[in-house]
Structure 1
């Protein structure tokens, strides 16, 4: 990429999955703004094109490249991560923001439904992390930021499959944080809740949803759900040297929804 910026991420090489929309896009743009060289990866090419246009408008487009990837497909992940690390000349930070949210009564959840959510959210996080680890470990100070959710620790009705994957991601993050701590790697989770993104705007709730069960998901502060940039700011802190003493844990970002 050649061009590096100033700021907390000046000279840092970053891969952000889910960079074509929502929190992934907001994170890619924030880390570009703070000087990083970023590869945004997503399954949706039109979304990546929009991210690139926004970066160009902000004057940071020279430090952004994009790559398409299906994180549930091993060959696709291997190719995309290889392309990203080769283009960047290494990797300092991985942000696993890609994921899907679908809802269903658990008694009506098909195996196909369950397997798809697991494949994208949990297995996808594993695959991208596994492929990125050699490059991250080579720096001696690599950082992995994974995406859990408040649903991993607090009851979110109709989202049993989604919640299970997010709980799994938390456990996965704890394990790699310990396993690679002596090699300089930090691994952390963000656990967003009450965030306004494409995923939360249409979670596919059942037609007979009991909205009384969902009432507790209202933030305690602010005016309704927060924007994706709220999470992006927290990720910027965690992935920078300001978060140097934070690993093997998760940061809940939900406006006090689950105090």
Structure 2
């Protein structure tokens, strides 16, 4: 019988102590859960969103025993100047920047023939352009000491999600951007990954209106056999990717969909 190799390093406590993180979409859903999880693991978190009241609720939800903290910052992450300002605040408040979680996003559903150009542009700008802007602004700081970027893709980037042309295209772009940055900065100490959630219980998904004549047989194709996920479960994967436990993970699009596309 092979001899067991003893564990020579202690199991981790809070994995992000002493690290600074910027989380977009921090007012609700997966973004709020991510800000809370990273702060619970010891990070100094700047939570960014347009919804100041929602950010306040996120800050108030942080348990007193958390070893990190959350600072709210109201900004439009699809605006270039606002992104530069948010990154500067995160760097100043956290003594640098080590983790970026691009979670902000919007979801719209319509027949593709009825997708207005305005809707298309808005979804692409909020979901994809903002991810590029934040990555571009944050990378010079991440390069000084190594770090991790976690972007928010979606199962719609890999599997057909009807009536979601703009959303799927934006998330496909996020996945491609993630792969590109992971290779470009592989030898410079920055890891870049993306999560790809399926259906998750958030205000964004609860407020989604499918076309009145939508075929629910097609909608059933994108639903998990065990039901929608919880934002906290997705945030746990973000925390792993942000920590040293994810030290050899880069360039991955990690699906979190409860077996929907198994």
Q: State the 1:62 CA deviation.
A: 6.5
User: What secondary structure sits across from 2:221 in the alignment?
Assistant: helix
Paired residues of 2:20 and 2:90 also in contact (CA < 8 A) = no
Cα deviation code 1:123-177 (max 9, x no counterpart): 01000111111111111x2100000000000010000110000000000011111
State which of 111, 126, 134 in structure 2 corresponds to 1:128. 134
The aligned counterpart of 2:194 is 189
Q: Which runs of 4+ in 1 moved over 2 A?
A: 57-62
Larger Rg: 2
The aligned counterpart of 1:160 is 165
The aligned counterpart of 1:41 is 48
User: Which deviates more, 10-19 or 207-216?
Assistant: 207-216
* Correspondences of 1:140-219 after superposition (within 5 Å): 141-219=146-224
User: Which deviates more, 196-205 or 164-173?
Assistant: 196-205
User: What secondary structure sits across from 1:213 in the alignment?
Assistant: helix
User: What secondary structure sits across from 2:187 in the alignment?
Assistant: helix
Paired residues of 1:39 and 1:64 also in contact (CA < 8 A) = yes
User: What secondary structure sits across from 2:163 in the alignment?
Assistant: coil
User: What secondary structure sits across from 2:151 in the alignment?
Assistant: strand
The aligned counterpart of 2:84 is 78
Cα deviation code 1:200-248 (max 9, x no counterpart): 112231122211110112213x3x1121011011111111111111101
Q: State the 1:84 CA deviation.
A: 1.5
Q: Structure 2 length as normaliser, TM-score?
A: 0.92
Cα deviation code 1:68-118 (max 9, x no counterpart): 110111111111111121111110000000010111110011111100001
Q: 1-side partners of 2:221 and 2:117: how far apart?
A: 29
**Residue ranges of structure 2 left out of the alignment (5+ in a row):** 1-12
Paired residues of 2:43 and 2:67 also in contact (CA < 8 A) = no
Paired residues of 1:188 and 1:247 also in contact (CA < 8 A) = yes
Q: 2-side partners of 1:70 and 1:217: how far apart?
A: 30
Output the aligned Cα RMSD.
Answer: 1.3
* Mapped pair 1:238 → 2:241: yes
User: Which deviates more, 67-76 or 162-171?
Assistant: 67-76
State which of 20, 31, 37 in structure 2 corresponds to 1:24. 31
Paired residues of 2:83 and 2:137 also in contact (CA < 8 A) = yes
User: What secondary structure sits across from 2:23 in the alignment?
Assistant: strand
The aligned counterpart of 2:10 is none
Alignment length, in residue pairs? 250
